[in-house]
Amino acid sequence: MTSKDIIARRLEAQGIVGAGFADAEAAVRWMGCMQAQDFAMAKWAVGLRASGLTEAQIDEDFNAGKVLRTHVLRPTWHFVLPVDIGWMLKLTGPRIKQFSKPMHRQLGIEEAVLRRSRKI
């Protein structure tokens, strides 16, 4: 396999070349989770993978809750689907909580405050 073959397969696997997805939800479903730190560039990455998808359509899917933007893998933003957020948070939540402890201490957020916020 040549480097051009590897590149072509990677572009296809990433959904960048090929038939394209119908909407933002389908593109994010295929990827599982997409980096979304920079919101405008994250929308571009979704649109790149969908045929004829406009920014307005991506915004519509996002505003309708079809795609979520959350801290699911680490303390950076990612796009995920609502159907996947539960199992992903069960898998990654403990590590994110550990990762967040120094920031919580710095901000003066104590465990009692976190418990109360969960209850509310």
Three-state secondary structure call for residue 53: coil
Q: What pLDDT score was predicted for residue 56? A: 92
Per the listing, tokens 């795609």 go with 67
Residue 33: strand, helix, or coil: coil
The pLDDT value recorded for residue 78 is 93
Residue for token pair 């104590």: 110
What does pLDDT average to in each consecutive run of 10 residues of the chain (120 residues)?
90 82 90 90 91 89 93 86 94 86 88 88
Question: In this structure, are strands 34-35 and 68-70 parallel, antiparallel, or unpaired?
Answer: unpaired
**Alpha helices (H) in the chain, listed in sequence order:** 3-13, 24-31, 39-48, 55-63, 82-107, 111-119
pLDDT of residue 41: 93
- Sign for the pseudo-dihedral over CA of 57, 58, 59, 61: positive
Q: What is the DSSP letter of 110?
A: -
Whole-structure pTM over 0.85, yes or no?
no
pLDDT given at position 6: 92
